[in-house]
Structure formats: structure tokens, C-alpha cells
Amino acid sequence: MQGLLRIAYWLCVASVVNITMMPRYGLADDIQRTLNWAINTAPPFHIVQGAYQNQGICDALMHAVEDTLPNYQTSRTLMPQTRIGVMFERDTNQCFPCMIYRPYDAQQRTVLSAPTHRYQPHGIIALPRVAARMREQFGDPVPLHLLLESNDFRFVQPAGRQYGALQPLLNLHEGTSSYRVVRTGEYATVAILDMILAGRIDYTLDYHTLVRYHQRTGQGELEFVEIAETEGQQVLGLSDVRTMRGVAI
């Protein structure tokens, strides 16, 4: 599993809460020194059960942060990815350790820390025979904009998932085709791989790390195809904070 962790990034997010007026003693001080993690069931980022429990990419990040902040209490709340986003919109004081760095936006409700890990770029995950068809039709690496415009291949993604530099391209094609499916529920990352292996869907977008995790824990062969638009570009992950306490952390 150590190999899975070497290409990771992390992002910790704390919502906008005014805590600067809280007294620094007693219960208030305890609250101020609590780091509230929001996590989800999305191996290999968070692994909440099985042989690699607590050894996911984002689990490792949380352990590193907690070791660095021994005076902070920590809590962990398991929730769907979409729920995590809703909680931030409600100014909930929480920290999400697996987000992609994006340039600062004054409208966003979070502030990004300095990047701490690096991912290799997202790619296409498909059955080998489907990957071969994509390369034959579009070339190698595959231009994602052409793939999204095609009605020959069905795409699936986890609900609430964002794809960094690829997201504007995905947004451009959102809702334009019945060949795009959103998978809700727990363990969406591995459930999507099962859908691909069963032939119910053709491909998803994710990191090569997910294929490696599947090779260690699942059955059936999957192939990783590079995307032309982001070939050779690394994805930055980081911490995301906006409160004075979060900035200090």
C-alpha cells in the first residue's frame, strides 16, 4: 500500500466560522483545539474496512497531520461526498483531507493550503477491449473532448466528484448525452469499477492509483488510458481552510 501513497495529494477544508472571539480557556479552548475530519467511503482515498483499513491515501495524510498537531483533539465523521459539500455550504466547521488545488476564488467558501502531495494526472479506466477501441478511434493519448462528444462510450462518475483541470470540459458536456451516468451511494469508486467489469458502463475517470488498488483487492483486468488534455500534468492536492484557526493549523 505504500506505493499507493507516494503519488497522493491532500486538501484539508475548514468552513467559514468566526471563532476569533472565543475565550481561550475551558470548554471553548477544547473546541478550538478540535480538528473535525469529514471522510467518505472512497477507496483508495479513505479505506474504512478490509485488509487495508485506515491505509488509504487520505488516511495517511490525516495521520501525518495528527502526528504534527499532538495538542489537538480529532474527530472523524463518515458521510457521502455530496453531503460534505453541503456541510461546507452551511458553514460547518470541518476539514476534508482530499481535495484538488485550484486557483484562489474570492467566491469560494474555503481557502487552500500549500500543496503537500502530488497525483499523476487523471486518466480513463476501462476494460482492455474498450480501451483498445478508444485508442483506435481517437488515438493515444485519447482527447477527452472527443470521447465526451461520442455516443459510442458510456461514462460514469461518483456523485460530487470533481476533476481539477478537466472539470470545465466535463461541465461543458454535462447533460448533453444520455451516455453519462452519476453513481451515488457508498463505495462509489469501487462500485463503478464493478459496473465497468460487468459491461454496464464503458469508462470512468480517475487516478492510476485506483487501478493499482483494484489489482490488489479485486478481480478482473482494467486498463488505464492517458488523456491528451492533461498528459504529463501533475494534479496538486492540499489543505483548504478559511477560519483563523484553520489558517493557523
Tell me what pLDDT residue 248 has: 52
CA distance 23 to 232: 49
SS3 sequence, 5-39?
HCCCCCCCECCCCCCCCCCCCHHHHHHHCEEEEEE
40 in Cβ contact with 79 (< 8 Å): yes
Could you read off the pLDDT tens digit of each residue along the chain, which spans 249 residues? Answer: 444 433 333 344 433 333 222 334 344 454 467 888 988 898 998 999 999 999 998 899 889 889 988 999 999 998 887 787 777 777 777 788 877 776 655 556 666 666 767 778 999 999 999 999 999 999 999 999 999 998 899 999 998 888 988 999 999 887 666 578 889 888 999 999 999 999 999 999 999 999 999 999 999 999 999 999 998 776 655 444 444 445 455
C-alpha pair distances (Å), 131 with each of 11, 96, 190: 31, 33, 19
Could you tell me the domains of the chain? 2-119+235-248 (3.40.190), 123-230 (3.40.190.10)
Q: How far is CA 11 from the centre of its chain?
A: 9
Helices (H) and strands (E) in the chain, counts: 10, 10
Q: In whole angstroms, give the CA distance from residue 244 to residue 249.
A: 9
Q: What is the pLDDT of residue 92?
A: 73
Q: Which helix (H) or strand (E) holds 194?
A: helix 188-197
- Using DSSP bridges, classify how beta strands 123-126 and 223-226 pair: parallel, antiparallel or unpaired: antiparallel
Whether the full predicted model's pTM is greater than 0.85, yes or no, is no
Q: What is the DSSP letter of 229?
A: G
So what's the pLDDT on residue 112?
65
The cell numbers describing 184, all together, are: 451515488
* 234/247 Cα distance (integer angstroms): 25
